C-alpha cells in the first residue's frame, strides 16, 4: 500500500518516463513543485519498496510493479474526469484538480463500478486513453494537427495540453473532441493553420495546432 504522496511520485515519474528513459531528480522536483532534496529522499524510499530502479546520480525508472501502480492511478484519474464531465456537467478545463484528489480513493470495487456506470469509456474528456483494469491501453492512432497538409481531414480526438486557458480557447473556437475538421490553408509567414469545420472556418496558431490530436481519415 502506498501513501498519497508516494502515489503522486509514481504518477509523475510515469508521465515523465513517456518523454525520457531515465527520469531525473530535477524533473520530478519541478513537476511535483518540490525541492530536489525532497525528491532524493522519496526516490530512495520508492526504490527500497521495489517500485522504482534507482542508480545514484543516474535518475530512476519504474519497475513492473511501480508501473502497474502508476497506471492504476492514471486509470482512476481519467475515469473520474469522465464522471465529472459526463455526469456532473463540468467543463473539460475544470476537472483536473478534483480528479487529482479523487484518484487516490483506494477502493478497487469503486473503480470497477464507476467504470461500468460510465459505460467503460476508452478515453477521458481530453482524449487521453483510459487503461482497462488490467492496465492495458487501447492503442490509438493519433497525429498532431500541425502535421496535416492542406486538404487533409480528420476528427479531433485529443489534446496534448491540459491547461485551462488552452482548453477554454479551443472551446471558444469550437474545436472540441469529436469535431470533424479539414485543413484549408497553412500560412507561410507564421505557420498558422486555417481549419474548416462543418459550419465555419477558424484560424489557429502553430502553437495551438501542435497540441491538437487528430485521428486521420487519410488524404483528400
Partner DNA sequence: TTTTATTTTTAGGTAAATCTAAAAATTATT
Partner DNA sequence: AATAATTTTTAGATTTACCTAAAAATAAAA
List residues binding a second copy (CB under 8 A).
84, 87-90, 94, 97-98, 101-102, 105-107, 109-110, 113-114, 117
Q: Closest separation between CB of residue 102 and a second copy, Å?
A: 6
Q: Closest separation between CB of residue 117 and a second copy, Å?
A: 6
Over the Cα atoms of the chain, what is R_g? 19
Q: Closest separation between CB of residue 40 and DNA, Å?
A: 4
Among 15, 41, 65, 110, binds DNA (CB under 7 A): 41
Task: Please say which residue, 15 or 106, places its beta carbon nearer to a second copy.
Answer: 106
All 3 cell numbers of residue 115?
467504470
CB-facing half-sphere around the CA of 134: CA atoms within 13 A? 2
Among 44, 87, 106, 133, binds DNA (CB under 7 A): 44
Query: 24 is in the binding site of which of a second copy, DNA, none (Cβ under 5 to 8 A by kind)?
Result: DNA
68 in contact with DNA (CB under 7 A): no
Q: Hunting for cell 503522486 — which residue is that? A: 8
C-alpha span between 63 and 147 (Å, rounded)? 34
C-alpha distances in Å from residue 165, one per residue of 32, 118, 157, 161: 21, 27, 19, 10
Task: Please say which residue, 103 or 128, places its beta carbon nearer to a second copy.
Answer: 103
Q: Closest separation between CB of residue 74 and a second copy, Å?
A: 18
Task: Please say which residue, 102 or 208, places its beta carbon nearer to a second copy.
Answer: 102
Q: Hunting for cell 492511478 — which residue is that? A: 73
19 in contact with DNA (CB under 7 A): no
Burial class (CB in 10 A: 0-12, 13-18, 19+), 43: buried
**3-state SS record for 116-166:** HHCCCCCECCCCCECCCCCCCCCCCCCEEHHHCCCCCEEEEEEECCCCHHH
All 3 cell numbers of residue 201?
472556418
154 in contact with DNA (CB under 7 A): no
31 in contact with DNA (CB under 7 A): no
Query: 56 is in the binding site of which of a second copy, DNA, none (Cβ under 5 to 8 A by kind)?
Result: DNA
What does the binding site for DNA look like in residue numbers (CB under 7 A)? 3-6, 24-27, 32-45, 54, 56-59
Amino acid at each position: 500500500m502506498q501513501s498519497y504522496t508516494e502515489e503522486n511520485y509514481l504518477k509523475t515519474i510515469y508521465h515523465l518516463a513517456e518523454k525520457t528513459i531515465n527520469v531525473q531528480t530535477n524533473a520530478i522536483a519541478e513537476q511535483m513543485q518540490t525541492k530536489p532534496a525532497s525528491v532524493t529522499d522519496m526516490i530512495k524510499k520508492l526504490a527500497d519498496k521495489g517500485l522504482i530502479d534507482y542508480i545514484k546520480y543516474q535518475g530512476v525508472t519504474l519497475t513492473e510493479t511501480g508501473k502497474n501502480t502508476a497506471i492504476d492511478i492514471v486509470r482512476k484519474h481519467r475515469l473520474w474526469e469522465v464522471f465529472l464531465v459526463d455526469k456532473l456537467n463540468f467543463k473539460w478545463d475544470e476537472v483536473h484538480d478534483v480528479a487529482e484528489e479523487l484518484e487516490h480513493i483506494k477502493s478497487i470495487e469503486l473503480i470497477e463500478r464507476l467504470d461500468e456506470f460510465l459505460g467503460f469509456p476508452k478515453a477521458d474528456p481530453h482524449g487521453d486513453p483510459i487503461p482497462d483494469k488490467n492496465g492495458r491501453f487501447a492503442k490509438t492512432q493519433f497525429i498532431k494537427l500541425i502535421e496535416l497538409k492542406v486538404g487533409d481531414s480528420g476528427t479531433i480526438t485529443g489534446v496534448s495540453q491540459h491547461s485551462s486557458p488552452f482548453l477554454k480557447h479551443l472551446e471558444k473556437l469550437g474545436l472540441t473532441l469529436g469535431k470533424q475538421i479539414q485543413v484549408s490553408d497553412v500560412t507561410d509567414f507564421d505557420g498558422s493553420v486555417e481549419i474548416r469545420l462543418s459550419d465555419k472556418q477558424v484560424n489557429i496558431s502553430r502553437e495551438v495546432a501542435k497540441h491538437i490530436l487528430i485521428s486521420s481519415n487519410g488524404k483528400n
